[in-house]
A = this chain, B = another copy of it.
């Protein structure tokens, strides 16, 4: 389907509560384990989502609106959460993600974007020209890619425990294309 701002907002506004319901107070055996070397845990993913709220989506939207294609976005740091999540609990990260998302949706609302602005182009440092509409659709789809990843990371912890059912569980066949 086409990108529509209300559809994007409806999804963006639900992700923090969905992750909260899934992850808060879950045993650390689910939330702190990853899929092996250099992979992320659910805890890491929430930290990554927080970093996106701070540096990616709304800041990039502002760059498009202000500079168009004349100024490329800052590259996104995919490992920032290693520093930024240190010493925090998953509960604190979930709170922080919810707060930042809510603030960013407030900012998005305040931008009061018209169709003409949604079609405005910016410049991605690697991908080249992209529209504001594509950026906002990607914000929502990025949430989904990380819900997809979290479900896979958690399922991985029960890879042995399910025994022969392994063959029937699609998530256990997933090759990890959501990995960073």
Please determine whether B148 and A134 come into contact, CB atoms closer than 8 angstroms.
Answer: no
Listed stretches A64-72, A80-88, A105-113, A125-133; interface member = A125-133
Chain B neighbourhood of A11, CB < 8 A: 26, 30, 154
Q: A1-B158, A127-B167, A161-B1 are in contact. Are A144 and B151 (CB under 8 A)?
A: yes
Please determine whether B21 and A134 come into contact, CB atoms closer than 8 angstroms.
Answer: no
Chain B CB within 10 Å — which of A6, A17, A149, A169 has the most? A169
Please determine whether A10 and B22 come into contact, CB atoms closer than 8 angstroms.
Answer: no
Chain B neighbourhood of A19, CB < 8 A: 18
Q: Mark A131-167, 1 if CB is under 8 A from B, else 0.
A: 1011101101110110111011011011011111101
Chain B neighbourhood of A171, CB < 8 A: 141, 144-145, 148-149, 177-178
A2 in the interface, Cβ–Cβ < 8 Å?
yes
From the candidates B124, B127, B138, B169, name the one contacting A138 in the complex (CB within 8 A): B169
A36 in the interface, Cβ–Cβ < 8 Å?
no
Please determine whether A10 and B33 come into contact, CB atoms closer than 8 angstroms.
Answer: no
Chain B CB within 10 Å — which of A21, A144, A154 has the most? A144
Please determine whether A7 and B20 come into contact, CB atoms closer than 8 angstroms.
Answer: no
Please determine whether A161 and B128 come into contact, CB atoms closer than 8 angstroms.
Answer: no
CA distance A168 to B151 in the complex (A): 19
CB distance from A52 to the nearest CB of B (A): 12
Please determine whether B178 and A174 come into contact, CB atoms closer than 8 angstroms.
Answer: yes
A75 in the interface, Cβ–Cβ < 8 Å?
no
CA distance A19 to B14 in the complex (A): 10
